[in-house]
Amino acid sequence: MQRFFCESADYFSNFDTLYKQDLNMQKPDGPEMNNFSLVDILIKYRKPFIVIALISAFFAYIFSLPFFITPLFKATVILYPTSTNSISKALLNTNFNSNKDLLEFGEDEQTERMLQILNSNKIRDKIIEKYDLMQHYGISSATNYRYTKLFKEYDSKIKFRRTEYMAVKITVLDKDPALAAKIANDIAELFDSTMNAMQKEVAVRAFRIVEQEYFKLRDEVKAMEDSLNSIRRLGIHDYESQAEMINQQLAIELAKNNTTGIKALYEKLELLSAYGGTYVSLRDGLEHERKQLSQIKAKYEEAKVDATESMPHKFVVSSAFEAERKSFPIRWLIMVITVFSTMILSLLLVGFFEHGQLQVKKKL
């Protein structure tokens, strides 16, 4: 439309200049051949122009009635994404230097992610199925390319955009104001369920892996503890200190030439030599495995929370409500554009007519 107006203005400017040049070059044969301008055209044909403007305004008013153009009501929801998507990292993370805050609004990255999910077919298909939009939009099941038409209608009536304040605005247009509000609010709710479903699919698999490793390591630790306890029941509690004490006592008994004591101490040394290495290996390995078990248990608890719990991924700034007035069509705007366009077209036709008359008079 802007291009049309610019071309029309250029045409009349050139037409006016050429018209004056043509009139100045020829000798006037009468008062009717005086210089002619755009203002002269408007004055000369003012009555037809007024009639045309009134008729175009009348028809614009008639054809913008609900009988011809279905009025649409608008419902909007404004959301902010959260700054984090992991519950465990936001709530269970012991790293106090972490910048994750569950109550903080998301930034550009989270806003773009929200827009991508809102535009996904996961939400679209659920809304179409829940509200039977194919029938609501008047698309027959026997129509060719019915889904293409349905998706096109959906995209024209339901839109998502980022605001200048990094929020996301959901806009729904529909002939039923109550339905428009319900769809807008449901889309906002579906964002949470869709995000949770997508994350749960990954979180549950991750939890199964961590769970398997955790129970496996726990069983290994339990087996090592049982083995270590069996050795302790034989009398080996601290290999290094016991070996040192027995050797010291053996030296004393050898000095006393206590055959019975020497025999008993040699039996204890044989027991230590038989199970001491196993004891030390189990003890040191158990200490290492317990550290590993403690770390993987923390991962297990985090993965369990992510797999079993859900948190909202949005802040609702403004919920949709049933509109009282239609948002489309804007009748006064239609009338203004129609009248203005009709007047431009009329001026073009009159300009061509006057130019033709001028050429005929020049030839005569």
Q: What is the pLDDT of residues 126-164, one digit of tens each?
A: 999 999 999 998 888 888 888 999 999 999 999 999 988
Residue 171 confidence (pLDDT): 94
Contact 363, 357 (CB under 8 A): no
169-211: per-residue pLDDT in tens? 999 999 889 999 999 999 999 998 898 888 888 889 989 999 9
CA proximity to 305, closest of 203, 208, 202, 213: 203
The Cα-based distances of 237 to 109, 230, 241, 271, 276 in angstroms read 58, 10, 9, 12, 10
Share above pLDDT 90 across residues of the chain, in percent, rounded to a whole number: 21
Can you read off the two tokens belonging to residue 73?
């009501």
Which of 115-119, 215-219, 335-339 shows the lowest per-residue confidence on average (mean pLDDT)? 335-339
Which residues does residue 160 pair with via DSSP β-bridges, in sequence order?
170
Residue 169 to residue 77: CA distance in whole angstroms: 6
**Terminal Cα distance for the chain, rounded:** 39
| Coil, helix or strand at residue 160 | strand
User: 């569950």: which residue's tokens?
Assistant: 102
Give the model's pLDDT for residue 2: 42
| Cβ pair 83, 109 in contact under 8 A | no
Angle at 172 between CA 168 and CA 176, to 5 degrees: 155
The whole-angstrom separation of Cα 35 and Cα 41 is 11
Q: What is the per-residue pLDDT for 92?
A: 62
CA–CA separation, 106 vs 314, rounded Å?
9
Name the burial class of residue 103, with classes exposed (0-12), middle (13-18) and buried (19+) by CB atoms within 10 angstroms of its CB.
exposed
Which pLDDT does position 62 carry in this prediction? Answer: 78
Residue 295: burial class (beta carbons within 10 Å; 0-12, 13-18, 19+): exposed
Give the DSSP letter of residue 237: S
Helix (H) or strand (E) holding 110: helix 108-118
Give the per-residue pLDDT at 153: 92
Q: What was the pLDDT predicted at 362?
A: 67
What tokens were used for 116?
């991508």
CA 92, 96, 101, 106 torsion-angle sign: negative
Token pair of 361 as six digits: 């008079």
Q: How far apart are CA 236 and CA 229, in angstroms?
A: 9
> pLDDT band at residue 267, thresholds of 50, 70 and 90?
confident
**Residue 67, pLDDT above cutoff 70:** no
**Cα separation, 161 vs 163, whole angstroms:** 6
Lowest mean pLDDT among 67-71, 159-163, 300-304, 335-339: 67-71
The predicted structure's pLDDT at residue 88? 64
Q: What are phi and psi of 176, to 5 degrees?
A: -105, 110
Higher pLDDT, 167 or 107: 167
Average pLDDT over residues 355-362: 68
- Check whether 99 has a pLDDT greater than 60: no
Q: Would the pLDDT of 168 be above 90?
A: yes
| Predicted pLDDT at 101 | 59
Task: Tell me what pLDDT residue 143 has.
Answer: 83
Q: Where are the domains of the chain?
A: 2-25+35-67+329-363, 205-308
pLDDT of 21 > 60? The answer is no
pLDDT for 363: 66
Q: Which residue has the tokens 């000798």?
A: 27
Rounded percentage of the chain residues whose pLDDT exceeds 70: 78
* Residue 160 CA from chain centroid, whole number: 9
- Cα 356 to chain centroid distance, Å, stands at 60
Contact (Cβ atoms closer than 8 angstroms) between residue 134 and residue 128: yes
For 6-10, 51-55, 253-257, which range has the lowest pLDDT when averaged over its residues?
A: 6-10
* Res 81 pLDDT > 50: yes
Structure confidence at residue 238 (pLDDT):
78
